[in-house]
């Protein structure tokens, strides 16, 4: 088979034994006649450990120097894995981002891939080398190292698969596929044989940890055939593609996110321009707002609520307090004990009653909904964080049945 990109996550390369196992998987693919590009993450908790090391020295280190440090984890993995393949007598070469010519913009810690120069990797493939690339990193216009954001190796792999028109991009991880809900919360959750890019993207963006959401975005844009599978167990994984055979429920899954806060601005004046004022101030402070709810105005006053990531809580609070007079509100309420539960599935576009079934499940469980947001293929509700896991379970049971 033509070209396969195989990406292995941190757990899959955590120690010598795991690296040897990964080398066997790569060797089998190569011996079966494929060209192989491998993308690796840093071993185990290496990236977290490096962040800790940086914080010990300087918690306010520049983003450039952080990337210089964080990118080293992947370099260790690729060299070790190349050594394991050398030992098996196979032709192999490891490359970091500047050697690959994986160019990004200048946003250290969260860089976007601009372009991949193909010459070097292609030359190595032509020589029949297995090419092992350091994931998560790129190089910017200044020739400096950047990183793609936490979990970014998936995106490195898909970008390479797109650039080289790979026949398949396999994402090997420590779970064996994409589930209808996190199996640690819902033991009856089941593995999907297939999922569409659109559903996968919503699930990944709404808290399913299995794939970096930008990797799914890229895969959708460039029609990369993706497969999520386990490096530990030899079982079929989940295929991510444009069109799938729908399962009977037409629902992809349920996801949970609990790393954000809800703000309510109470007693705003009910006049034009208020929402504009609030959200332009937040956007100027780089606060990424998610769900927004505005109440109907009554006796000249109204409330606006919104959610934002926990990491932006203080920035949001201070900009709103600073401009209290200009905005004109009575008081602010902040609640960081909230969670967002999302039901995802392209099937809901053509099925009536999905929202009411979801709300019924929550009602039956006595779980209060604080906010609701929808897209064409998603319904999200904000609930108290203490109810979050129960909410995931009852919503999942409603749509997938309780098989426990």
Could you give the angle at which helices 72-87 and 16-31 cross, rounded to 10 degrees?
Answer: 60
Contact in structure between 204 and 144 (CB atoms under 8 Å) = no
Using the minimum distance from each CB to ligand ASP, give the nearer residue, 7 or 262. Answer: 7
In angstroms, what is the minimal distance from the CB of 340 to ligand ASP? 22
* Least gap, CB of 47 to ligand ASP (angstroms): 3
Q: At its nearest, how many Å lie between ligand ASP and the CB of residue 337? A: 27
Q: How far is the CB of 153 from ligand ASP (least distance, A)?
A: 3
Q: What does the binding site for Mg ion look like in residue numbers (CB under 5 A)?
A: 9, 151
Interface residues toward ligand ASP, by CB under 6 A: 9-10, 41-42, 47, 73, 135-136, 150-153
Tokens 């060209």: give the residue: 35
Output 118 or 191, the one with its CB closest to Mg ion. Answer: 191
Instruction: Provide the minimum distance between the beta carbon of 240 and ligand ASP in the complex, in angstroms, as a whole number.
Output: 17
The binder of 170, among Mg ion, ligand ASP, none, by C-beta within 5 to 8 A per type, is: none
Residues 6+ apart with CB under 8 A from 126: none
Q: Which CB atom, from 10 or from 253, has the smaller least distance to ligand ASP?
A: 10
Beta bridge partners of 382: 340, 371
For residue 243, how far is the Cα from the chain centroid? 21
Q: Which is nearer to ligand ASP, 78 or 181 (CB)?
A: 78
Rank residues 62 and 209 by Cβ distance to ligand ASP and give the closer one: 209
Output the CA–CA distances (angstroms, integers) from residue 358 to 225, 342, 367, in the order listed: 32, 10, 11
Q: Which residue's CB is nearer to ligand ASP, number 67 or number 397?
A: 67
Answer for the pair 371, 307: CB distance below 8 angstroms, yes or no: yes
Among Mg ion, ligand ASP, none, partner that 136 touches (CB below 5 to 8 angstroms by kind):
ligand ASP
CB of 170 to ligand ASP, least distance (A): 15
DSSP 78-95: HHHHHHHHHHTT--EEEE
The residue sitting closest to Mg ion, measured at its beta carbon, is 151
Query: How far is residue 107's CA from residue 395's CA, in Å, rounded to a whole number?
Result: 38
Q: Residue 237 binds which one of ligand ASP, Mg ion, none, with CB within 5 to 8 A depending on kind?
A: none
Q: Which residues contact 372 (CB under 8 A, 6 or more apart)?
A: 291, 293, 379, 380, 381, 382
């Amino acid at each position: 088979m033509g070209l396969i990109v195989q990406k292995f996550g941190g757990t899959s390369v955590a120690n010598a034994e795991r690296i040897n196992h990964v080398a066997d998987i790569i060797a089998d693919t190569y011996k079966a006649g494929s060209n192989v590009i491998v993308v690796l993450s840093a071993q185990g908790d290496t990236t977290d450990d490096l962040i800790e090391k940086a914080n010990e020295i300087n918690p306010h280190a520049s983003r450039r120097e952080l990337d210089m440090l964080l990118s080293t984890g992947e370099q260790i993995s690729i060299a070790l894995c190349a050594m394991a393949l050398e030992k098996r007598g196979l032709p192999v070469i490891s490359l970091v981002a500047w050697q690959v010519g994986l160019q990004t913009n200048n946003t250290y810690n969260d860089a976007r891939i601009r372009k991949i120069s193909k010459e070097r990797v292609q030359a190595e493939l032509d020589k029949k080398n297995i090419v092992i690339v350091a994931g998560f990193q790129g190089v910017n216009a200044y020739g400096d190292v950047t990183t793609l954001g936490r979990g970014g190796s998936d995106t490195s792999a898909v970008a390479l698969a797109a650039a080289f028109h790979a026949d398949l991009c396999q994402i090997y991880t420590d779970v064996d596929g994409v589930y209808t809900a996190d199996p640690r919360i819902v033991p009856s959750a089941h593995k999907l044989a297939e999922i569409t890019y659109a559903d996968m993207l919503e699930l990944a963006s709404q808290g399913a940890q299995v794939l970096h959401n930008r990797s799914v975005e890229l895969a959708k844009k460039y029609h990369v055939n993706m497969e999520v599978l386990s490096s530990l167990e030899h079982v079929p994984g989940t295929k991510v593609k444009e069109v799938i055979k729908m399962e009977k429920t037409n629902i992809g899954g349920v996801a949970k996110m609990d790393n954000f806060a809800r703000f309510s601005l109470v007693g705003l004046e009910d006049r034009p321009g208020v929402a504009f004022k609030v959200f332009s101030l937040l956007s100027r402070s780089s606060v990424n707002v998610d769900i927004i709810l505005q109440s109907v105005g009554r006796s000249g006053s109204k409330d606006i609520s919104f959610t934002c990531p926990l990491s932006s809580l203080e920035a949001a609070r201070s900009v709103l307090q600073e401009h209290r007079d200009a905005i004109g509100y009575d008081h602010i309420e902040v609640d960081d004990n909230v969670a967002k539960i999302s039901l995802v599935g392209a099937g809901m576009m053509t099925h009536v009653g999905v929202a009411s079934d979801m709300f019924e499940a929550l009602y039956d469980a006595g779980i209060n909904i604080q906010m609701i947001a929808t897209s064409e293929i998603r319904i999200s509700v904000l609930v108290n964080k203490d109810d979050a896991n129960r909410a995931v379970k009852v919503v999942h049971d409603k749509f997938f049945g309780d098989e426990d």
